[in-house]
Chains A and B, each alone.
Chain A
Amino acid sequence: MTETAARSKASGLGHKGPSFLMAVPAVLFFGIFALIPLIGVVVISFMEWNVLGSPTWVGLSNWTAVLFDRPFTWTALSLTLVFVVGSYLFQAPVALLLGVFMAGQQRYRALLAVLYFLPLLFSSVAVGLTFQSLFSPNYGLSAALPFEWLPNDWLANSDLVMWVMIFVVGWCFVPFHGLLYQAGVRQIPASMYEAATIDGAGRLRQFFSITLPQLRYTIITSSTLMLVGSLTYFDLIYVLTGGQPADAVRILPLDMYVTGFASYNLGYASVIAVILVAIGLTLSLLLNVLSGSSKMDSDKAGA
């Protein structure tokens, strides 16, 4: 990527580089499947519509209602925050350590890798149904294991269910991010570690002084995917909880779905969708700025 950037900088736009025509299909698809629906959602956010019948303009009333008269919006927002931050704090370290381990040369590593990556292969629905059985109080884990302290209402306890969701969603996505880190670690030249070993650096020191800094861009990519991903995460939560217990895990995407397709209030749902788009965009941009994308040119320094 940096090479391309350097070349286009040197040659100027329109010279030698690939023709803009090659981007037409992508731009077209992006327009049809992203921009047009996005505009549609914005339009509907100013309308009252219960799916049946025709929508009517109501001006800003959906917006004021969702933002100010509907206390649940703020509950959903804070639940979303807990979910996003919780997911990140769980997934990021585990994925990083897993990736670093996978990239190593330990015995049985290949076999373990296969096991670790298994969750990647399952569809959310299959995972949801499996965990639903596992969490069943009468026939699942709680019943099978002789530990009295094991909670028996994993999915029904309003205080517990959010952490259960963070765990299950993490379980699904850690392998993917682990894969990213594995690839990232394998890019680090072995000579750096050899030099460090000669200098007498221990494993821990090598990890913090070589591995972690070298993984900088992988961390940024993975973090962006994790944060934006969990901000919009929906399917597994829906399958596992069916949107219940009433509001304990109703993060914004789920709230949007329930409002739109279970309560048939498309106007409100569209407002929530636009809010989600805004947060998602802000988050992505923020991550980019914070991660210092201007310094991205010096990727291979020291290699």
Chain B
Amino acid sequence: MRRTTRVATAGLGVTSLLALSACGGGDGGGDGGGDAEANAWILTGGGWPAIEEDFNRWNESNEDAQIDVEGIENDSYKGQIRTAVGSGEAPTLIMSWAGGALLEYAEQDAIMDLTGETGDLEERVFESVWQNGQVDGSTYAVPLNDVQPVVMYYNQEVFDEVGLEVPETWAEVEEAIDVFNENDVAPFSLAGGSVWPALMWLQYLTDRHGGEEVFQAVVEGEEGAWDNESILFALETMQDLGENGGYIDTYNSVTADQNEDAQLLADGQAAMLLQGSWVYATINQDFPEFAESGNFGFTSFPTLEDGAGDPSNITGNPANFWSVSADASEEEQQIATDYISENLYNEETVDAMLEAGSLPPLNDIEEEIAETEDAEFLEFSSELVGEANNFQLSWDQAVAPEVAQPLTDNLSQILRGDMTPEEFVEAMNSL
């Protein structure tokens, strides 16, 4: 009797633990064998419904080459896809942000070399975006959606109230911070609670101060690469902005999940917001009054007077990318490569993207852009991307996946003032 009770209670503990340790496992099924149905995992929200519709159209017109699509939430996707790829259970089409993960997939021979299998896509896509899918000169991934540069949004009404111009240089930014603080308006909205939006600040400040070579050294794994004066400058500047009223007071509690950072801009509680191009669509959708008021503006990150970086440099996500699983059956791989070479960026999908205010990374679509409702923003981001000297992939995607989490954790400590820039550099170098 006594024993059974004990075992039962102990069992309770064990099962709940294991339920925990088992979570995050993917249920893929890429190598289904006999049935020739390829599959793909996409994300939910944002511009992804347009991609799903594209798959639906493909399935309607290709009876014998069906692709099954499943939408997964962003954060859980990142955990699941890696487990799935690692266990050989990946979907036929593997979505990534290129960068560190793609490099690993290629090194592990988990994905197919697509060189020569991509139809005329290579000529149609922006060179700077296309390159992200290449490893050692071979194409392992192709872009599948819009270019997502990080831009500076602003609320013109707030600037008018205090009689300021939108800052173009860092000196003007500092002046604007003083004026806004005197008028009880937060200069910058920032979703510091989500941490990754703060990474955009770190990226831009580092790049403007030291140029793209600084981070390139980190990606290439150079010894002590984080110990760089430009990275230190960026971290110090961020802490200074946090302490001295640059960011909104509550920035550590603001999260991007429910677009709170964009809401602060739309409400006029903050004058500016540094965020990805997807926020343009968010504002149009969630805060239409602000979007239609004529006060919703966008510009590029300010230049740094003494900075060594090219002011045309931008950061963000060049696009999301499709790779084809090496573990899929030959038939499934064929379906996937057909889809990539014949169907990507077809007319209907490009129209749907443009209509949603997102920019496909394609050459020669100026005419189509000019006809859309959001022509102004699309032309702006097209120019931004087209003229960029360097397009830096978001750091958390660019670094090896094992480094991404410590990077976020340490940046979170910086935002909270729990860590000095020197400690940050030391912690990142020790990885």
Segment of B38-46, B78-86, B233-241, B288-296 engaged in the interface with chain A: B78-86
Contact B253 A137 (CB under 8 A): yes
Q: How far is A155 from B193 in the complex, measured between Cα atoms in Å? A: 8
Among A153, A265, A280, the residue within 8 A (CB) of B17 is A280
Contact B11 A244 (CB under 8 A): no
Contact A284 B13 (CB under 8 A): yes
Query: Total contacts A to B, CB within 8 angstroms?
Result: 169
Residues of chain B within 8 A of A50, CB atoms compared: 401-402
What bracket does the count of chain B residues touching chain A fall in?
35 or more
Encode A238-278 as 1/0 by CB contact (under 8 A) with B.
00001011110000010011101111110001100100110
Contact B257 A263 (CB under 8 A): no
Encode A215-233 as 1/0 by CB contact (under 8 A) with B.
0000000001100110110
Residues of chain B within 8 A of A280, CB atoms compared: 10, 13-14, 16-17
Among B21, B75, B255, B260: residue with most chain A CB under 10 A: B21
Encode B1-36 as 1/0 by CB contact (under 8 A) with A.
110011001111111111011111000000000000
Among A158, A224, A284: residue with most chain B CB under 10 A: A284
Contact A52 B16 (CB under 8 A): no
CB of A294 closer than 8 Å to a CB of B: yes
Contact A253 B20 (CB under 8 A): yes
Q: How far is A232 from B108 in the complex, measured between Cα atoms in Å? A: 34
Contact A258 B82 (CB under 8 A): no
Q: How far is A261 from B402 in the complex, measured between Cα atoms in Å? A: 10
Residues of chain B in range 51-84 having any CB-CB distance to chain A below 8 Å: 75, 78-79, 82-83
Nearest B-chain residue to A72, judged by Cβ:
B409
Among B5, B21, B194, B410, the residue within 8 A (CB) of A242 is B194
Residues of chain A within 8 A of B269, CB atoms compared: 138
Residues of chain B within 8 A of A265, CB atoms compared: 402
- Measured CB to CB, the closest approach of chain B to A274, in angstroms, equals 9
9 A-B residue pairs with Cβ-Cβ distance under 8 Å, sorted by A, are: A34-B14, A52-B108, A53-B108, A135-B253, A153-B252, A246-B418, A256-B20, A284-B6, A288-B5
Q: A152-B250, A253-B20 are in contact. List 12 more A-B contacts (CB 8 A).
A: A33-B18, A132-B257, A137-B254, A139-B260, A153-B252, A245-B252, A276-B17, A276-B20, A277-B13, A280-B13, A285-B10, A288-B5
Q: Which 8 A-B pairs have the closest CB atoms?
A: A156-B252, A280-B13, A137-B250, A51-B86, A5-B1, A156-B253, A263-B405, A261-B79
Chain A residues with a Cβ under 8 A of chain B: 5, 8-9, 30, 33-34, 37-38, 41, 50-53, 129, 132-133, 135-139, 152-158, 224-225, 228-229, 231-232, 234, 242, 244-247, 253, 256-258, 260-265, 269-270, 273, 276-277, 280-281, 283-285, 287-288, 293-294, 296
